[in-house]
Amino acid sequence: MKFSFFHLMPYPYLPDDFDSAYDSSALTYPNANFDPKLGAALYSRYLDELEYADTLGFDGIAVNEHHQSAYGLMPSPNIMAAALTRRTSQARIMVLGNAIGIRGNPLRVAEEIAMLDLLSGGRVDSGFVRGIGWEYFAHSVNPTRSRARFDEAHDLIIRAWTSEELFSWYGENYEYRYVNIWPRPIQTPHPPVYIPGAGSTETMKFCAAHRYTYMSVYAPTRIVRRWFDGYRQAEADLGRAPDPEKIAFSVPVYVADTDERAHAEARPALEWLYHRGLKQTPQMVTPPGYMSPGSLRGVLMSGMHGFRSSSYEDLLAAGQAVVGSPASVAARLRELYDELGGFGQLIGLFAIGPSTHEQVTRSAELFAAEVMPELRPLGVAAGASPA
């Protein structure tokens, strides 16, 4: 099992009347509510936490991209990754990921990831995401083109990384007469790719075909199980035994010395994350054309609903957060490992909503010292030795 410390870099200081006054923490939530001085202090604190996770022995430290939102303060994950390259030495630097569905110029992503790969000495992992619904409003990109733009940007970036000859690109969405990037990445054939999945069978097949890591987004265990099974089936359809390390389970994790203390501290943090940070209208979640008819049908039939109707207890029961003492967290993650049919990577969100720096670092310390060793042997392909 490999473990990463994932950061969303939330802006936790929502006003007291947030629940009644605003229908979302994103897109239309006025940035008058953002205090740049507090924001600067958060950046400094959050980078400290990621750097600390590197020293604790996490295999990866992860950042991601969100726009116009208190949920996550990283419009450019590559800038945060760049800051990490010079202050860390062991962990993979995971950009999970660049939202290539909404980028105007995907070649820029190829260039920036190549830069990060050099700066980090080949430690960068490159996630590609479509960008979530509200971001198609935020960046004025037509969501009906989302899938096509994502696919084409992906193909272009991979070719730009791997080609040692100048080439021209004529696509439906992008045209470049001269593709000839400097620098090229240091990892061969290119940095490992991560793709989040939320039920689309196209994504499962895509990940399997390219041997990319398929990572879950926050959803109840019974649904994530279906996604992981879909990915495993896609691997099997290609005549391969699924490699557990290519399946990554994402989940918020909070560890404290005792169960009692952990729950007391995690409850407000997780309620912030799921009820405020992720508060959005249905129109923001699913702009027109963002989902294929088949995927939308799947979501409707699965009975998934908004996070706001899930209580803290519901979230724990459904495996959408793991909280407790080190022993309880290890036991619960073993349970989830079995319920999900196995996974080889755990992408833990340790800095949850308004958690304090002391809480986050303590949680990460306990996890690294007491949970990781317990789970390390899980999720390793037969015949491979544990990392």
Tokens 């600067």 belong to: 40
Write down the least CB distance from residue 300 to another protein, Å: 5
For residue 57, give the amino acid letter.
G
CB contact burial 159-185 (16+ within 10 A = b; e otherwise):
ebbeeeeeeebeeeebebeebebeebb
CB atoms within 10 A of CB 248: 28
Write down the least CB distance from residue 103 to another protein, Å: 15
3-state secondary structure 8-39: CCCCCCCCCCHHHHCCCCECCCCHHHCCHHHH
- Name the segment binding another protein (CB under 8 A); options: 52-60, 77-85, 142-150, 235-243: 142-150
* Binding pattern for the stretch 28-67 against another protein, x by CB under 8 A and - elsewhere: x---------------------------------------
353: tokens are 């909503």
CA distance 263 to 193: 35
CA distance 366 to 336: 19
Would you say 284 or 316 has its CB closer to another protein? 284
Return phi, psi of residue 39, to 5°: -60, -40
Write down the least CB distance from residue 284 to another protein, Å: 7
Among 31, 142, 188, 311, binds another protein (CB under 8 A): 142
Query: Under a CB-based contact definition with an 8 Å cutoff, are residues 203 and 247 in contact?
Result: no
Would you say 297 or 308 has its CB closer to another protein? 297
Among 20, 44, 140, 168, binds another protein (CB under 8 A): 140
Write down the least CB distance from residue 133 to another protein, Å: 10
Write down the least CB distance from residue 29 to another protein, Å: 13
Write down the least CB distance from residue 101 to another protein, Å: 13
Among 63, 119, 284, 372, binds another protein (CB under 8 A): 284
Report if residue 20 touches another protein, rule: CB under 8 A. no
Query: In the chain, how many H helices and how many E strands?
Result: 15, 11
Q: How far apart are the first and last CA of the chain?
A: 7
Among 10, 106, 252, 287, binds another protein (CB under 8 A): 287
Report if residue 101 touches another protein, rule: CB under 8 A. no
Residues lying near another protein in the complex (CB under 8 A) are found at 28, 136-137, 140-144, 281-284, 286-289, 291, 293, 296-297, 300-301
